[in-house]
């Protein structure tokens, strides 16, 4: 485990020490900000709903369930259990914005981003690449601005992907049951 954490810290320092021009810092802060509380994903969901899904009364169910499950599992259970310190407490970390000191594992931003990307990709497959690109950028921004270690982000992404798949499946089962 120590080897994995040492590798994680080394990878963090490499990625976190990439050049930090003002425009890149601003972009990373903006990406991280739009990922806060899954806001950007719900805005995209509302836009898609108003655009073409108005008749689908179950449209928001997987989106809301995935967001709620992600928040509950990460913020209320896993972060307190893992109790991993954030990179702000590491020597040599470049911190852009506030230097949060609460727990970091897994990344809530990455979890929600990947859960929402999965759900929205299920709704709009032709835009899948946009949703996953946004999830990747939000996830990377968390390392770049010094809020998370790479392992936090990877674990959050995998967890979010699983939550998204589960919620899509559960809602599709509910729909099938209702349509019988």
Given a contact cutoff of 8 angstroms between Cβ atoms, the answer to whether 88 and 178 are in contact is no
In a domain, 54, yes or no: yes
pLDDT of the residue at 91: 65
pLDDT of the residue at 140: 93
Structural domains in the chain (count)? 1
pLDDT band for 38, please (50, 70, 90 cuts). Answer: low
Average pLDDT over residues 113-123: 92
Place of tokens 């209702």: 178
* Helices 128-144 and 22-35, packing angle to 10 deg: 120
In a domain, 20, yes or no: no
Average pLDDT over residues 30-51: 74
In a domain, 94, yes or no: yes
In a domain, 11, yes or no: no
Q: Give the tokens for residue 142.
A: 């968390």
Q: Which region, left, alpha or beta, applies to residue 83 given φ > 0 means left and ψ of -120 to 50 means alpha?
A: left
In a domain, 24, yes or no: no
Given a contact cutoff of 8 angstroms between Cβ atoms, the answer to whether 42 and 65 are in contact is no
The CATH number given to whatever domain includes residue 159 is: 1.20.144.10
Give the long-range contacts of residues 21-26, CB within 8 A, separation 24 or more. 24/144, 25/96, 25/145
In a domain, 16, yes or no: no
In a domain, 89, yes or no: yes
Compute the distance between CA of residue 73 and CA of residue 64 in angstroms, rounded to an integer: 14
Mean pLDDT, rounded, of the chain: 85
Beta strands in 29-145 (DSSP E): none
pLDDT of the residue at 162: 97
CA gyration radius, the chain: 17
In a domain, 80, yes or no: yes
Residue 80: give the domain boundaries: 35-178
Place of tokens 């969901």: 45
């Amino acid at each position: 485990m120590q080897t994995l954490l040492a590798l994680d810290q080394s990878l963090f320092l490499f990625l976190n020490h990439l050049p930090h021009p003002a425009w890149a810092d601003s972009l990373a802060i903006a990406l991280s900000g739009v990922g806060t509380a899954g806001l950007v994903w719900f805005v995209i969901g509302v836009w898609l709903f108003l655009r073409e899904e108005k008749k689908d009364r179950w449209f928001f169910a997987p989106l809301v369930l995935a967001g709620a499950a992600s928040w509950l599992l990460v913020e209320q259970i896993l972060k307190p259990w893992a109790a991993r310190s954030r990179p702000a407490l590491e020597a040599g970390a470049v911190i852009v914005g506030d230097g949060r000191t609460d727990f970091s594992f897994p990344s809530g931003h990455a979890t929600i981003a990947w859960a929402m990307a999965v759900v929205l990709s299920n709704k709009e497959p032709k835009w899948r690449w946009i949703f996953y690109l946004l999830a990747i950028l939000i996830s990377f921004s968390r390392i770049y601005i010094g809020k998370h270690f790479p392992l936090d982000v990877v674990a959050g992404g995998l967890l979010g992907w699983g939550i998204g798949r589960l919620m899509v499946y559960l809602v599709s089962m509910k729909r099938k049951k209702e349509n019988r």
